[in-house]
Amino acid sequence: MESPNSAKESPNSAEESPNSAEESPNTRTSTTHDPFADFFRAELALSCTLANMAETNFRIGHQESAESALRKAQVGCATVRRFLDSPRHAKHLTGEERRKTTEAWEGLQYRLAQLDRDIAHKPLHNDVPAQKPDAQAH
């Protein structure tokens, strides 16, 4: 048999459940699956993956592949910045989402700048054709 309090507890606990705020169309949290927030997260994640590819390709001596992956990561990073700077698009983010996205963008931008310097200014020893040292010896 149900206790008299169980009927009262059920509605109250539903109102206090953490999911009730997410179900409300007027309440947005950082865990909301908003298409704009999802776009920012996906674009940043893709750009980070491309930065990883650029770094790996650079380390193993695949200069062209490194440059290509870096350029694509830079395009993604620029796209995020353009949308963050657009009031039309950024208004769809909560303050917390905007802060987190901006921090992630800044970190990625810094990393891409470092990779760009490394790739452009530090040719690896295996990028130099093997005949060059022999040609200088003659």
Give per-residue pLDDT as tens, 77-128.
999 999 999 999 888 889 999 999 999 999 999 999 999 999 888 655 544 4
Q: Which two tokens stand for residue 96?
A: 């917390």
Both tokens of residue 23?
């179900």
16-65 confidence digits (pLDDT tens): 434 433 333 334 444 556 788 899 999 999 999 999 999 999 999 999 99
Instruction: Give phi and psi for 92, each to the nearest 5.
Output: -80, -10
Which pLDDT belongs to residue 109?
Answer: 96
Q: pTM of the prediction?
A: 0.64
Instruction: Count CA within 13 A, CB hemisphere, residue 28.
Output: 13
Local structure of residue 105 (DSSP, 8 states): H
